Amino acid sequence: MPFSKEKGEPSIYYETIGRGMPIIFIPPPGVGHLTFRYQVSLMDECQIITFDIRGDGRSGRTSIPMAMEQLAYDVKRVLDANHVGKAVICGYSNGASIAQEFAINYPERTAGLILIGGFYAVRSFLLEKEYQIGIWAAKNLKTSLAAGLAKNHFTNKQAADELFNEIIRSDAKMLASQYHVGLHYSSTDRLHQIKASLLLIYGAKDYYIQSYQYLFRKLIPKTEVAYVHKMKHQVPTKSPHECNALIREWMRRTKLIASH
């Protein structure tokens, strides 16, 4: 199995398939590479890279305190392991925060930026409660958290069972830390530093996340917004065909892949 390894750092498990413009998909806490199992259909035009956050799934553990800069550095490590100089960075939910941090810290490695259900800081009551529940459940009810995340992401029982088995492997303390880091993260004062083209994808019913788009649009000139019909937050797994079509069409418009 492929791992990015570096002295003093935990190993990062990743999977790579396809050829073309590289896209690296960054997951929310716990759910790892299987979150993007349906995005592999983009492999006909893109190199698809998925991975597990440190402490999650098959990736290594560490006692080093977690930080968003560190999680963004792990993305760079995975790109380096794949000999990728520049990629489209796609983050989902809390993974979108890691994606922003990467685009700010490594602009020369960012060909484009896609945020699915993305936000620049936790500034709504419901979102804050979700993070607080995640921290508590990771510490006290990891099995229940794993079951809930798997069920929320996949209606297909086999896919849900496979995701559950990956989540349950995660380190409880590091999973809680990942939620904690996401809860306290903010890119608000640095969004203007992002120069890459940005695609924001929101579920049409993901009401308390959609309002974050306005500051993105104000501070990042090359921003497009797309809504996925009848969807809440779990766009990559619950509406993969529409999600993938939006990604593909945007990449053609921005000339990241060839138009047909």
DSSP string, 226-247: EEETT--S-HHHHSHHHHHHHH
pLDDT score at 1: 64
In a domain, 115, yes or no: yes
Residue 215 has pLDDT above 70, yes or no: yes
Going by pLDDT thresholds of 50, 70 and 90, the confidence category of residue 51 is: very high
What pLDDT, in 10s, does the model give residues 75-102?
999 999 999 999 999 999 999 999 999 9
In a domain, 198, yes or no: yes
Task: Give the pair of three-digit tokens for residue 257.
Answer: 């892949």
Going by pLDDT thresholds of 50, 70 and 90, the confidence category of residue 260 is: low
Instruction: Report d(CA 134, CA 152) in Å as an integer.
Output: 14
Task: Give the pair of three-digit tokens for residue 59.
Answer: 């990736």
In a domain, 197, yes or no: yes
Instruction: Report d(CA 137, CA 250) in Å as an integer.
Output: 37
CA distances from 114 to 9, 55, 174 (A): 27, 24, 26
In a domain, 106, yes or no: yes
Per-residue pLDDT, averaged over 136-156, amounts to 93
Q: What is the pTM of this model?
A: 0.96
In a domain, 156, yes or no: no
Please say whether the beta carbons of 236 and 39 come within 8 A.
yes
Residue 259 has pLDDT above 80, yes or no: no
Q: In what order do the strands lie in the sheet with 21-26?
A: 3-6, 9-17, 46-51, 21-26, 87-92, 110-116, 198-203, 223-228
* Closest by CA position to 27, among listed 199, 153, 180: 153
In a domain, 99, yes or no: yes
Per-residue pLDDT, averaged over 143-169, amounts to 94
CATH of the domain at 214: 3.40.50.1820
For residue 215, give its domain range.
Answer: 3-122+186-253
In a domain, 181, yes or no: no
pLDDT score at 43: 97
Phi, psi of 68 (to 5 degrees): -65, -35
What pLDDT, in 10s, does the model give residues 229-254?
999 999 999 999 999 999 999 999 99
Around 239, how many Cα atoms within 13 Å sit in the side-chain half-sphere?
21
The total number of structural domains in the chain stands at 1
Residue with tokens 């903010």: 186
Average pLDDT across the chain, whole number: 96
In a domain, 133, yes or no: no
Q: Rg of the chain's alpha carbons, rounded to an integer?
A: 17
Please say whether the beta carbons of 239 and 228 come within 8 A.
yes
* Closest by CA position to 245, among listed 222, 223, 228, 224: 228
Instruction: Report d(CA 212, CA 206) in Å as an integer.
Output: 11
Cβ density class 88-115: b for 16+ within 10 Å, e for less: bbbbbbbbbbbbbbbbbbbeebbbbbbb
Cβ density class 230-251: b for 16+ within 10 Å, e for less: ebbbbbbbbbbebbbebbbebb
Going by pLDDT thresholds of 50, 70 and 90, the confidence category of residue 257 is: confident
